Amino acid sequence: MRDSTGGVQSVLVLGGASEIGVATARRLIADRARRVVLAGRPSPALDEAADRLDAGGVAVEVVEFDAAAVDTHEKILGEVFDGGDIDVVVLAFGVLGEQAAFDDDPAAAVDAVTVNYTGAVSAGLVVAERLRRQGHGTLVVLSSVAGVRTRRDNFVYGSSKAGLDGFAQGLGDSLQGTGARVMVVRPGFVATRMTEGMEPAPFSTTADAVAADIVDGLRRGRHTVWSPPILQALFGVLRFVPRPLWRRLAR
């Protein structure tokens, strides 16, 4: 339950090693959050994230969670919620991959889509039901501007984010009147481990800047956050560009 001033007291990060997810948790800790759960596949990055957040004197729990193992989601997430109410859940897992590799190996494309979309649908529905039972809480879904209009150089990834974005919007509508809500976040190019070695796109940003936009969106009760905000106006135009021109622009 949020405190008397509306401050978030507990946060669950699905994809616990996510740089955006961890940066968001760090900012919420600065705003008085006292329980943090990092849920992800075991890895040095997950352990390091927990150690960094633990240094702030906050109770940090690490839970083994695999987005692709959808048959485990209800049990694992149920146990997290049984340990106490969760004010904010950040759904931050995802796979970028390379379009050329997907073209050569359709099975790899299916694996990526399973994580980005199927895993998110499964986890999102479980979390939404728990938030509904609580009567409060926000599910923050990390979508992407790549899903607003897909480009041919990453259309598998973009299509998975387009599906996730639509799912999250519909899920948010279904929660109206329950006290629970969904906030969709659409970052542009973010300089993280996932994008290391790639050429930054215009209006590129950082994990910490996206986290700042997320926390601001939570405070303001927004249903959609663009990061950086200028992308909302930009894609308001780009979504209507004729396809022949879009093919040339989006190389």
DSSP string, 19-61: HHHHHHHHHHHHTT--EEEEEE---HHHHHHHHHHHTTT-EEE
Task: Decide if 230 contacts 219 (C-beta within 8 A).
Answer: no
DSSP 212: H
- Coil, strand or helix at 201: coil
**Distance (Å, rounded) from C-alpha 20 to C-alpha 27?**
11
pLDDT class of 4 with cuts at 50, 70, 90: very low
pLDDT tens digits, one per residue of 187-241: 998 867 767 666 676 778 899 999 999 999 999 999 999 999 999 999 888 888 8
- Where do the domains of the chain lie? 10-249
Taking the C-alpha atoms of 74, 112, 165 and 19 in order, what is their torsion angle to the nearest 10 degrees?
Answer: 80
**Distance (Å, rounded) from C-alpha 40 to C-alpha 15?**
5
The per-residue pLDDT for 128 is: 98
3-state helix, strand, coil in the chain (%, to 5): 50, 15, 30
19-30 vs 44-54: helix crossing angle, rounded to 10: 10
Omega before 228 within 30 of 0, i.e. cis: yes
163-167 average pLDDT score: 97
**Distance (Å, rounded) from C-alpha 212 to C-alpha 47?**
23
**Long-range Cβ contact pairs of 239-245 (< 8 A, separation 24 or more):** 239/148, 239/149
The per-residue pLDDT for 197 is: 62
List the catalytic residues.
157
- Of 139, 160, 141, 158, which is closest to residue 150 (Cα–Cα)? 158
> How many H-runs (helices) and E-runs (strands) does the chain carry?
10, 9
Strand locations in the chain (E): 10-14, 35-40, 59-64, 88-91, 137-142, 180-187, 190-191, 205-206, 224-227
The per-residue pLDDT for 39 is: 98
155-174 vs 106-113: helix crossing angle, rounded to 10: 20
What would the CATH number be for the domain defined by 10-249?
3.40.50.720
**Distance (Å, rounded) from C-alpha 131 to C-alpha 67?**
19
Task: Decide if 207 contacts 20 (C-beta within 8 A).
Answer: yes
Whole-structure pTM value: 0.93
132-147 average pLDDT score: 96
- Coil, strand or helix at 200: coil
For CA atoms 122, 218, 14, 94, give the dihedral sign.
positive
